[in-house]
Chains A and B, each alone.
Chain A
Amino acid sequence: MADGDGAGAAATGKLAELPSGAEKGLPRRAKASSGRTLNTAQIPLVASHPDVYEPCDDSFALVDALLSDKAQLLTLQPRLCMEVGSGSGYVITSLAIMLRQLGSGAQYLATDINQHAAETTQATLEAHGVHADVIVTDIVSGLDKRLAGMVDVAVVNPPYVPTPVEEVGCKGIASSWAGGLNGRQVIDRILPAVREMLSERGWLYMVALEDNDPSDICHLMSEMGYASRVVLKRCTEEESLYVLKFWRDPHAVSSASPKSSGSESWFSQLPFKSLWHKNS
């Protein structure tokens, strides 16, 4: 522990010295697998394990989406933040670093179904001098009763790749991407579970693929009283990635129809059919 603390303090010191706008001066390397900005976890400090998902385009997209929402997160002043399926820990570590730079005293929780991933997350957090309590569990099982309604920011990069149903949740690294039919099998379990965790003012950021039918996901969420917005869309050679943001909105149910409502509601502002199907 003493050793870990020392390394953490050193990393903290380095990060703290940088002016908050420092990233603007750096060349932007959105898709590079290293480098990034000092607002985020540093790839060389991210722990790894053969059975744990390494930070990839989807992880970077999620962190970039969080960075782009920095001003809003500052106003939200989250108390409890949580990641479901934290893998290497790249995302939750980045969130903690970013919020700490904004002066936030938030606390963090991370879950993963894979013991190695939980340990890797913990090592990555420690290497950056930030802390989250990490739990090995299925989605949020065990936290569902007492933590309900307490999470202000939830982040999820779920297993979203369309695969044969049998591959979902199997042992080993395949379970980090295998999403079953339309890649929706795990997503469709995560969404209701995470909704229960969110506070009244809580936000959920989630990665989804074009194949997951994001407009359908948003529609389902709107029926449950959540408005949504595409925070980021990124097309890589293999996939079209979206980062979706959801928040509670009493008008969301009605805005699922074309009628306009909430100011930030993406449904109300865009004819989303055309948005989604532009490329198909």
Chain B
Amino acid sequence: MRLLTHNMLASNVRGATTGYPLTLEATKWCTKEVELNADFIRGLLPKIDWRALVDATRALGLPELLPEEQPPEEEIFAEGAADVEGSAIRRIHHALLEVHVQEGSLVCPDTSRCFPINKGIPNMMLHEDEV
């Protein structure tokens, strides 16, 4: 599971108010390079919850990867930024699409219900009495 998906997942357990964002606890994760697609990020960014993304990177022990506040779009999408090592768009791309959580869990912020992540796959299934 990548942080893009973490950013989109919420807990639907009974008793949860928003169920979002899920607290990420990772015991194993890795990175895999993929080609940067600025248009993809441009389209996606308005839908991303920046706070949740930053918190997820911190949970992985990457406090330097993203700044507290989302950089302005002019900076992120500045001409040539994608080719500059360490630029905002590269960092955002890396955080959203290149980090894969393999083992760990997602914890509902309202109820503390824990959803396991095994072999990179989060299990969001609820028992009948939790729906």
Contacts and interface: CB of A to CB of B under 8 A. Distances in A.
A217 interface: no
Interface stretch (A19-27, A40-48, A136-144, A248-256): A136-144
B50 interface: no
Contacts of B12: 141-142, 144
B43 interface: yes
Contacts, number: 78
A112 to B, nearest CB: 9
Contact of B8 (A113, A134, A146): A146
Interface stretch (A10-18, A51-59, A115-123): A115-123
Interface string A128-167: 0001011111100111111100100000000000000000
Q: How large is the interface on A (under 10, 10 to 19, 20 to 34, 35 or more residues)?
A: 20 to 34
Contacts of B2: 133
A79 interface: yes
B121 A118 contact: yes
Nearest to A135: B122
A107 interface: yes
B124 A137 contact: yes
Interface string B94-131: 00010010100000000000000001111111100000
Most chain B beta carbons < 10 A, residue from A1, A79, A137, A142: A142
Interface of B: 1-2, 4-5, 7-12, 18-20, 30, 32, 34-35, 37, 39-40, 43-44, 47, 49, 97, 100, 102, 119-126
6 contacts: A1-B102, A107-B97, A122-B119, A135-B123, A138-B126, A143-B10
